[in-house]
Structure 1
């Protein structure tokens, strides 16, 4: 081992150092439980020793099937501390997809929240793992908490090396074969440092899953010396009440969840003055709805655009959320420090400012590759550039606008329909709250435009009125063949509109009026 390797310290060790500096302060809150910084730090070292005592070794994959618990954070840190890659399952995926993931990444340890014990038994019945450890009493495996209680909380140096895999995150997974994205320990600091705004007494609210970007931001909050309040799932009324009660300063949510917060009846009467940063991202946002959020919460909105494959790419800062420049609300901001963005055509040539093409990114935060899929890795990583699969353009000031995902772009007779452009138009109607636009193939395998729409309560908006509006504004090519009015958009575990589910629903039902 070289001197440089011995001096390398992971993001987990940096967080543990901060926790150890003020052991008595509150670090994590969950329901009526409070974990001090010292208690969380001690639990990490105890869990790490317990894993080693079970024979777990550096490089072996630890998969988490667990909700938003303090113990989940500790287990993730403990596994990373001993050099193990962590793969955190989305809890709402099917058992079949979860089993595929567990098997594909060669899971050696499955750490299970007891709330998911039945699902864990189903998964391990199909894909046996060497160790099943639970975060509480259960019949499906040994309690990691009991094992940890027998170990020392004394610190020890981390075992990870810069080139070791730190995280394995999956993209897709609701249909088809999920792709496992690998990020090394050496890359994590570059990804972490790309997100500014964590100075001062941070009180962070996690109201999305720890398995997604919200979990990364929880790490930022702890590293800043702040605290993390964990909610088990997103509920707009609960989020608003928690912001007021705990004087929350930072939170993260996907745009559809932000719209729910704005639209909730409690929103107007809730004191949200403590907020300094509402981070949002993960899927396309509607300029009209972001303007609503800006009016409601003030100049605290920060958009973050990134991918698991790329880490952070760009940011639309609070200052860029300018009511006098509404066109900026359509953009994803400017490139983060250390990130290069190019817009390229199908031949890989750079396009001039203003022209639509694939967004390509180069930075130190780009993934190592897809787990044991070198051919797929070579498709998206070429000459140091990641081909994101997103369509967009750069303007003369360097603001990046995302137009669509290549796979979501609807190919129709006469051209392409960019789903986000149509969603923006539909969302501009005063009786529309949220929309999701998607393509559905007909009997001849030609795609037809469909839209799922959440209406304002009490309105009389009908399908034909929206179709007429679209035809007048964008022409017949963009006019939806069918508008489905729904009470709420179905969302994925991460909080994105589940267009795959909507598409399946339409394909399995007769085309009702």
Structure 2
């Protein structure tokens, strides 16, 4: 581990970049040397504002060179950085801003309940000061909030030691799949929020790979790819499906594109094959959690629907519900141990005890290894529906529905039912120019999984509701069950 604390690896990358462009924001080009100057000035401003080790600093910033510099500068002074996603409801925002010292914003004012607001422009006006790294190994370096797609968002606490142990900024430590991805990151689109773990991690990887982060505003596909001559981007599963449909119907020149990093939710095997067929060998399917960081990644040449081979530095065990190991090839719950994992959930000891167990992270994802060591995911341990006292996982039902050529997306949830305790309810998004046969969908599920898994209702949607993170949020579907106008009873 490096002698200096994080963010020394990132600062070294910026120093090595020198006059090479590392960030492109519209017509503005920022070199490594210039970005290093921004980091130094923002860090000086934070010190002048008496921000240091142990202080909580919330970053409410857009996607700009200054925002990237502010995130890194906060670590320079040893603060606990809290990223705030755009569009967060007021109640959640109040929760996220607990235990903080200051909010850093682009605007002149911050949220009403912020204890103190610091603007980027004010921080940059402070007298210059040499970089002094103040992060302490066991202090919390950042709080990363889970998406909340299976419950209330929780803050994963990652220490300075854990961030230093991450391999993202160290090419010599890259596993093979990441090395292949890095070779394609010449122009990586950034959008949404740099408080996103995925967005920031791939940004640092881009720096290490010698590439440039390019701001896409707005992040509309495929226009953002063609307009910015992008070679790489993060993409959610719904956006990937829409991009594939768009290319089938009205194709544009995507010759610059070399990597799409699918993130946020599982990608059904047939849809992955379709994406590779339409877009070419550009789809990288990553698997990870906010609690652990990247666990595994499938390259375009990997075998669908595996999520690739976990790197040697990451331990993955498949266990029964009682914690005992399962036989090779059998499904079970994934327990993971990574060098850069969180130490727990901030200020939530009960939740921490349930997930962080003896140095392992209980993912609550279900999966197995094949004989070659590829990892496969089959569902979430908690995404279950209890029909007539029998557990049925939503994941397999969703995957069966997704095999229909009439569908682009399928989501399954459970709801109380007077006859069976709980019942299965499905929400589907049609494929382009298709009208789903709802009766045929029910028959499809019945034949493959049995009658207990057949959806009581099937609701046709134009698109799935999204959480602020951009992931599909199945919780938002529950209120629609009684008013399912297009449902099949």
Q: Taking structure 2 as the reference length, what is the TM-score of the superposition?
A: 0.90
The residue that corresponds to 1:374 in the other structure is: 349
Residue 82 of structure 1: aligned partner:
77
The change in CA–CA distance for 1:512 and 1:303 in structure 2 (over 3 A counts) is closer
Q: Does 1:358 align with 2:340?
A: no
**CA apart distance, 1:177:** 4.4
Q: CA deviation at 1:444?
A: 7.3
Q: Distance in 2 between matches of 1:46 and 1:235?
A: 33
Q: Between 340-349 and 264-273, report the one with greater CA deviation.
A: 264-273
**Which among 133, 150, 159 is matched to residue 158 of structure 1?**
133
Report the CA distance shift for 1:256/1:61 in structure 2 as closer, same or farther (over 3 A): same
> Following the alignment from structure 2 to structure 1, what is the Cα–Cα distance between the partners of residues 249 and 71?
34
Residue of structure 2 in register with 1:204 after alignment: 188
Give structure 1 regions of 4+ aligned residues with deviation exceeding 6 angstroms.
508-511
Q: 2:260 aligned with 1:278, yes or no?
A: yes
Deviation at 1:432, TM superposition (A): 1.0
Q: After superposition, where does 1:352-431 map in structure 2 within 5 Å?
A: 352-413=327-388, 415-431=390-406
CA distance in 2, matches of 1:263, 1:511: 23
1:43 alignment counterpart: 38
Correspondence for 1:140: none
The correspondence of residues 321-332 of structure 1 with structure 2, limited to 5 A, is: 328-332=303-307
CA distance in 2, matches of 1:255, 1:480: 23
| Structure-2 change in CA distance of 1:98 and 1:368 (3 Å) | same
Q: Report the Cα distance in structure 1 between the residues aligned to 2:192 and 2:272, rounded to whole angstroms.
A: 19
Q: CA deviation at 1:290?
A: 0.8
2:182 aligns to what SS in structure 1? coil
Residues 245 and 432 of structure 2 are in contact (CA less than 8 Å); yes or no, is this contact kept in structure 1? no
Q: Give, in whole Å, the separation in 1 of the partners of 2:342 and 2:249.
A: 39
The correspondence for 2:199, drawn from 195, 202, 214, is: 214
CA distance in 2, matches of 1:469, 1:494: 32
Q: Which residue of 1 aligns with 2:4?
A: 8
Following the alignment from structure 2 to structure 1, what is the Cα–Cα distance between the partners of residues 394 and 185?
40
Which residue matches 2:122? 146
| 3-state DSSP of counterpart to 2:347 | coil
The structural deviation recorded for 1:217 is: 0.6
Q: Structure 2: any 5+ residue segments left out of the alignment? A: 169-173
The CA distance in 2 between the partners of 1:414 and 1:397, in whole Å, is 37
Equivalent in the alignment of 2:105? 112
Gaps of 5+ in 1: 135-143, 321-327
Q: 1:481 maps to which residue?
A: 456
Query: Do structure 1's residue 287 and structure 2's residue 282 form an aligned pair?
Result: no
What are the equivalent positions in structure 2 for 1:198-347 lying under 5 Å apart? 198-199=182-183, 202-212=186-196, 213-236=198-221, 240-264=222-246, 269-320=251-302, 328-347=303-322
Aligned to 1:60: 55
Note the C-alpha offset of 1:445.
8.6
User: What is the CA-CA distance between 1:490 and the residue it aligns to?
Assistant: 1.2
TM-score (norm 1): 0.86
- Pick from 93, 97, 110 the counterpart of residue 98 of structure 1: 93
TM-superposition CA deviations, 1:472-499 (whole Å, max 9, x none): 3322122111111111111222222110
Structure-2 change in CA distance of 1:170 and 1:253 (3 Å): same
Q: Secondary structure at the match of 1:420?
A: helix
Matched with 1:29 is 24
Q: Say whether the 8 Å CA contact 1:431–1:456 is kept in structure 2.
A: yes
Matched residue, 1:349: 324
Displacement, 1:29?
1.8
| Conserved 8 A contact 2:147-2:469 | no
Tell me if the contact between 1:8 and 1:161 (Cα under 8 Å) persists in the aligned partners: no
* CA positional deviation for 1:161: 2.4
Alpha-carbon distance in structure 2 between the residues aligned to 1:173 and 1:460: 32
Match of 1:73 in 2: 68
Decide whether aligned partners of structure 1 residues 15 and 178 sit closer, same or farther in structure 2, where only a CA change above 3 A counts.
same
